[in-house]
A and B are shown apart, each in its own frame.
Chain A
Amino acid sequence: MIYRVWLFIITSTIYLQAQSTYSGFFQNWTALPVSGESRLLFQRNQIRFNVGLKQVPFRLYASFDIKGEQVAPRYTEEIIRESYLEILYSGLEVRIGKQYVVWGNADAVFVNDVVNPLDMRYFLIQNFDDIRIGLPMVKPSIYWKGWSLEGIWILRFEPGKVAEKGSPWQSPRNDSINVGFPVHIQWEEPVLPDQKIKNSEVGLRLSGMILGTDFSIQILNSYQDQPLNSLDSVILVQEDPEVDTVFVSGEMWMSRHYRRSPWVGLNFSRPLRSLVLRGELGYYQNYWFNVSPGLLGIDGLSSISPEPHPSDYLKMMLGIDVTGPFGMRASLQYIHSEIVDFVSGLEMENRLERLATLLLSGYYLEGDGDFSLLVLVDQLNKSGMIRTSTGYRLGEKIRLDGGWDIFWGNASSRFGQYDRNDYLYFKITYSF
């Protein structure tokens, strides 16, 4: 249906001689593991087509994506990334439709970029504009003397995406635990909130410049991207009653629901000579954390509730960007997360999380070539990731890219869980 609508709009616009613009690319992307295994880790053919149609005071924009995965698991992808109508009148603007809203500017991590859910089915290896998931929303904005007030009303909740079972990017999840006897866990499908007005999500953002500093404050009342686990029931089975040894096993049913968590965020960035100092602070009131399944209350084995645990949760980032000669840029970030009301037995085992990132980038061959080095280090868990990449522009439309990602750390850490997935990648992109 939506495609017919777009076909009608494009035809009408051409007839009405509205101003139109387009862009896009075709990309082939192949990733090979460096572990010596003779398999493809990732291969994707992707066609992107962006079209903008303008007839003052209206503007239509759509971005279409056709992705073909060559390596299992092959996910069903949505073709429309963004599709919205924008109405502009002087200092007022309303954008209606599926869109992205970016509230955070951190490199490689999402601190205050909290509006759109994330597609983490390939962890961080996708292009960054493929990681955010578009949301249907209404976004009115008012602009006045350099200040802007932006509201968002998200009509339908969309969860974040994680890798399916069998994917090399799946986070390890226990399907069984041992609490003195084996217990198998049955994970139920997550239950999405009903599509009702009361379940919609809302946010507000005020931004402007004060004394040369870009500044914004934002609030959001939304659901968390990932479902929270609740223990529904436990069945204990005693087998072989006729023999002397009693063998006990169990089945545990875990229901999964999405929960709301109000959030307030603050951003700033300020140039200081050849540096830019920037920061983001996000504070969740009653963010929900999963309890570790092994510590759920079965027959008094644990004193904590089998329900998700609410706690205020703080995330902050401080970063410095340095611009040097020959297009060199260095960016250093420190990210601190803290569960304010921490209790033991949560899936997140530490109250604190500290992450440091370094991004170095630059150009060569008069801008035809570029390179970057991205390092992410989880300081407490001693794990990390290094991404090295280089690209070369072959003429005006073709670009070649290559590089490798290396993960390290123990298997339960954020990056170490993908230690086996170190890979080399090659991309060829035709842009238009």
Chain B
Amino acid sequence: MCTGHYDASKSMNPLNSRLIRTALGCVLLIGVISAEDFSGLDIMEKVATQPNPRSSVSRIKLTLISFRRGKEKRRVREIIRYQKFYSSGKFRTKSLIQFSKPSDVKGTAFLLWRYRSGKPDDQWLFLPALGQVRRIASRERSGNFMGTDFTYEDLSGWAIGDDSYELIGEESVSEKIPCYIVRAVPESGGSSYGQRIVWVDQENWLIKKIEFYDQDKELFKVLTITHKEKSGDYWTADGMIMENILTRHRTMMEISDVKYDTGLRDDYFTERFLIRMDP
């Protein structure tokens, strides 16, 4: 076993410094198998250095599954997400999310700018019923997104320098895919998790599964990538399930109609387009 620490002074390809995107929008990954021994950091850098698109547009369906009085109840939320990724400069990503389901919130839109410096996100919300764009505070990163089991922290991902990594073993997961198991412990106080255990496919450096632990190191959430697809140079994890072990609540995420590098301009991610997106 070996422990790796991120060295900020290390000369990196701009792509290396990109986010490791988990969950929503994560895992756009391909890679090359290597027989050499890896540290936890090496593995996570392999994950991080996969080709990333400059922009993407996707439709995301979130199915919330809960159990009440022994009965399963499903609710569907649907969004269209526009994202732009920056390899340099002050921004990390800009996202525009438009809600399309349920019908009564159709047209509501959310604009998010994330900064490379770690400065708090800038966020705006457009409420069509009021015709207003409102600046909103950076939400609690541990808060749930739209009532799902994904938190804002899960969706926005984390930079490789945010954690220390330790290779803790190897194991085959679903379909007998051999994986490295890496423990990621937050270095800074910005995370709501005590640690994450990440399963990384040894063949193509795709994340297959993540266990989320609270500050007392108790397991409470598991993310499983159920389906992935390659489009051009990029892999998309287009099916995943996040399960809360404590509440038995699950969220199924399906990503469809993904388009990469469509040339979304910078001014698309402004108040101007937030207001004028079609209902």
Cβ-defined contact, B132 with A102, below 8 A: yes
Cβ-defined contact, A321 with B102, below 8 A: no
**Does A241 sit within 8 A of B, measured CB to CB?**
no
**Does B26 sit within 8 A of A, measured CB to CB?**
no
**Does A349 sit within 8 A of B, measured CB to CB?**
no
CA distance A360 to B272 in the complex (A): 28
Cβ-defined contact, B272 with A274, below 8 A: no
CA distance A273 to B104 in the complex (A): 30
Cβ-defined contact, A141 with B272, below 8 A: yes
CA distance A271 to B133 in the complex (A): 14
Cβ-defined contact, A269 with B76, below 8 A: no
**Does A52 sit within 8 A of B, measured CB to CB?**
yes
Contacting residues of chain A (76-132) with chain B, CB-CB under 8 angstroms: 86, 91, 93, 100, 102, 105, 127-129, 132
Q: Which of B128, B134, B137 counts the most A-chain CB atoms under 10 A from its CB? A: B137
**Does B64 sit within 8 A of A, measured CB to CB?**
yes
Question: Residues of A contacting B39 with CB < 8 Å?
Answer: none
Q: Mark B128-145, 1 if CB is under 8 A from A, else 0.
A: 111111111111100100
Cβ-defined contact, B66 with A366, below 8 A: yes
Shortest distance between the CB of A174 and any CB in chain B (Å) = 35
Shortest distance between the CB of A131 and any CB in chain B (Å) = 10
Cβ-defined contact, B104 with A25, below 8 A: yes
Cβ-defined contact, B272 with A148, below 8 A: yes
Cβ-defined contact, B279 with A132, below 8 A: no
Cβ-defined contact, B102 with A271, below 8 A: no
Contacting residues of chain B (148-167) with chain A, CB-CB under 8 angstroms: none
**Does B229 sit within 8 A of A, measured CB to CB?**
no
CA distance A324 to B135 in the complex (A): 15
Stretch at the interface among A2-10, A226-234, A392-400: A392-400
Question: Residues of A contacting B128 with CB < 8 Å?
Answer: 129
Contacting residues of chain A (150-178) with chain B, CB-CB under 8 angstroms: none
Cβ-defined contact, A274 with B140, below 8 A: yes
Question: Residues of B contacting A129 with CB < 8 Å?
Answer: 128-131
Cβ-defined contact, B102 with A397, below 8 A: yes
Contacting residues of chain B (79-136) with chain A, CB-CB under 8 angstroms: 101-104, 106-107, 120, 122-123, 128-136
Given the known A-B contacts A23-B106, A129-B128, A271-B120, are A52 and B278 also in contact in the complex, defined by CB atoms under 8 Å?
Answer: yes
Cβ-defined contact, A52 with B279, below 8 A: yes
Q: Mark A42-55, 1 if CB is under 8 A from B, else 0.
A: 00000000101010
Cβ-defined contact, A105 with B267, below 8 A: no
Cβ-defined contact, A271 with B103, below 8 A: no
Inter-chain contact total with CB atoms closer than 8 Å: 107
Cβ-defined contact, A393 with B104, below 8 A: yes
Q: Which of B75, B129, B276 contacts A86 (CB 8 A)?
A: B276
Given the known A-B contacts A143-B267, A269-B135, A276-B135, are A54 and B102 also in contact in the complex, defined by CB atoms under 8 Å?
Answer: no
CA distance A230 to B32 in the complex (A): 85
Cβ-defined contact, B138 with A274, below 8 A: yes
Shortest distance between the CB of B94 and any CB in chain A (Å) = 12
Question: Residues of A contacting B107 with CB < 8 Å?
Answer: 23
CA distance A207 to B272 in the complex (A): 11
Question: Residues of B contacting A180 with CB < 8 Å?
Answer: none
Q: Which of B66, B131, B146 contacts A102 (CB 8 A)?
A: B131
CA distance A25 to B276 in the complex (A): 19
Cβ-defined contact, B130 with A271, below 8 A: no
Question: Residues of A contacting B139 with CB < 8 Å?
Answer: 323
Given the known A-B contacts A141-B272, A368-B75, are A323 and B137 also in contact in the complex, defined by CB atoms under 8 Å?
Answer: yes
The residue of chain A having its C-beta at the shortest distance from the C-beta of B130 within the complex is A128
Question: Residues of B contacting A212 with CB < 8 Å?
Answer: 122
Q: Which of B120, B135, B138, B140 contacts A278 (CB 8 A)?
A: B135
Question: Residues of A contacting B204 with CB < 8 Å?
Answer: none
Question: Residues of A contacting B103 with CB < 8 Å?
Answer: 23, 25, 396-397, 431-432
Q: Which of B76, B132, B137, B147 contacts A273 (CB 8 A)?
A: B137
Question: Residues of A contacting B271 with CB < 8 Å?
Answer: 148, 207
Contacting residues of chain B (197-236) with chain A, CB-CB under 8 angstroms: none
Cβ-defined contact, A396 with B101, below 8 A: yes
Cβ-defined contact, A366 with B64, below 8 A: yes
Cβ-defined contact, B131 with A132, below 8 A: yes
Shortest distance between the CB of A251 and any CB in chain B (Å) = 45
Cβ-defined contact, B267 with A22, below 8 A: no
Shortest distance between the CB of B275 and any CB in chain A (Å) = 8
CA distance A141 to B273 in the complex (A): 13
**Does A336 sit within 8 A of B, measured CB to CB?**
no
Cβ-defined contact, A21 with B278, below 8 A: yes
**Does B270 sit within 8 A of A, measured CB to CB?**
yes
Contacting residues of chain A (393-432) with chain B, CB-CB under 8 angstroms: 393, 396-397, 399, 429, 431-432
Cβ-defined contact, B138 with A271, below 8 A: yes
Cβ-defined contact, B136 with A143, below 8 A: no
Question: Residues of B contacting A321 with CB < 8 Å?
Answer: 134, 136-137
CA distance A368 to B147 in the complex (A): 9
Shortest distance between the CB of B182 and any CB in chain A (Å) = 30
CA distance A141 to B104 in the complex (A): 30
Question: Residues of B contacting A271 with CB < 8 Å?
Answer: 120, 122-123, 135-138
Q: Which of A21, A105, A274 contacts B279 (CB 8 A)?
A: A21
CA distance A132 to B128 in the complex (A): 13
**Does A36 sit within 8 A of B, measured CB to CB?**
no
Given the known A-B contacts A23-B107, A143-B270, A366-B66, are A128 and B129 also in contact in the complex, defined by CB atoms under 8 Å?
Answer: yes
CA distance A327 to B137 in the complex (A): 12
Given the known A-B contacts A22-B279, A363-B147, A366-B147, are A276 and B137 also in contact in the complex, defined by CB atoms under 8 Å?
Answer: yes
User: When A and B form their complex, which 7 residue pairs have the shortest distance between CB atoms, in order from nearest?
Assistant: A431-B103, A367-B147, A23-B279, A366-B147, A52-B278, A21-B278, A269-B135
Taking A276-B136, A276-B137 as known contacts, 6 extra A-B pairs with beta carbons closer than 8 A to each other, sorted by chain A number, are: A23-B103, A129-B131, A274-B138, A275-B137, A323-B139, A429-B104
Q: List 23 A-B contacts (CB under 8 A).
A: A21-B279, A23-B107, A25-B103, A25-B104, A102-B132, A127-B129, A128-B129, A129-B129, A143-B272, A207-B271, A212-B122, A269-B135, A271-B135, A271-B138, A274-B137, A321-B137, A366-B147, A368-B75, A368-B147, A396-B103, A399-B104, A429-B104, A431-B103
